[in-house]
A and B are shown apart, each in its own frame.
Chain A
Amino acid sequence: DGGITQSPKYLFRKEGQNVTLSCEQNLNHDAMYWYRQDPGQGLRLIYYSQIVNDFQKGDIAEGYSVSREKKESFPLTVTSAQKNPTAFYLCASSLYSNYGYTFGSGTRLTVV
């Protein structure tokens, strides 16, 4: 079955550590996106990529980094520069511009 897979489902980070969230899709979608969701709030765009080897900052990119070396994969690194990383992170993909997204099941990141 085609879909978008995020891992891990839960992730715990110590202060000062970098962590990487995985996002893989087998939908042959060109575009991929990372969103952050805080409790009771909407989705805020962190980074997005419309083609391989290219990506753009979203609204809240500070403290995050991404790569897009393969069409199927768009990992997100939460760096130590992100001062409040505890949140629910959602990855999405779309076939191309002006189409809907398919979302992954999310990764809940907690700083301990």
Chain B
Amino acid sequence: GESVGLHLPTLSVQEGDNSIINCAYSNSASDYFIWYKQESGKGPQFIIDIRSNMDKRQGQRVTVLLNKTVKHLSLQIAATQPGDSAVYFCAENNDNQGGKLIFGQGTELSVKP
């Protein structure tokens, strides 16, 4: 069946270090991927997205990498700050899902000052 999962449920990093959050997806037909950040008690916020015709996309301090060969997605956060502490979800979509995103379990990122 379809699934989007994360390799690590928790990640602890030192302030200033780079963070890498990983996500595996199983549906090879998925062509759109998104990373969301969710702070405690709040709704998820869009961070960055990527479509399957790309393998890398950069934003402000964040980079998403897509490896379609192994069905792997990663989010890289440069110079991680305490404000980056949150749960990060990956999500996938394809035309066969009627617009519904499939969300991964989530990884909790904890940044030590």
Q: Which residues of A contact B (CB under 8 A)?
A: 6, 31, 33, 41-43, 45, 48, 50, 56, 58, 88, 90, 92, 94, 96-106, 108
Which of B40-48, B54-62, B63-71, B75-83 contacts its partner?
A: B40-48
**Contacts A42-B106, A106-B41 given: A97-B99 contact, CB under 8 Å?**
yes
A64 shortest CB reach to chain B, Å: 16
Question: Is the CB–CB distance between B42 and A106 below 8 Å?
Answer: yes
B4 shortest CB reach to chain A, Å: 9
| Interface size range of chain B in the complex | 20 to 34
Taking the complex as formed, is B100 at the interface, i.e. its CB lies under 8 A from any CB of chain A? Answer: yes
- Residues of chain A contacted by B36 (CB below 8 angstroms): 103
> Which of B32, B44, B98, B104 has the most chain A CB atoms inside 10 A of its CB?
B44
Question: Is the CB–CB distance between B104 and A42 below 8 Å?
Answer: yes
Say which residue of B43, B93, B104 sits within 8 Å of A105 (CB atoms). Answer: B43
Say which residue of A43, A56, A105, A106 sits within 8 Å of B89 (CB atoms). Answer: A43
- Residues of chain B contacted by A58 (CB below 8 angstroms): 100
> What separation, in Å, do the CA atoms of A45 and B98 have in the docked complex?
13
Question: Is the CB–CB distance between A43 and B95 below 8 Å?
Answer: no
> Which of B34, B43, B105 has the most chain A CB atoms inside 10 A of its CB?
B43
- Residues of chain B contacted by A56 (CB below 8 angstroms): 98
A24 shortest CB reach to chain B, Å: 14
Question: Is the CB–CB distance between A42 and B105 below 8 Å?
Answer: yes
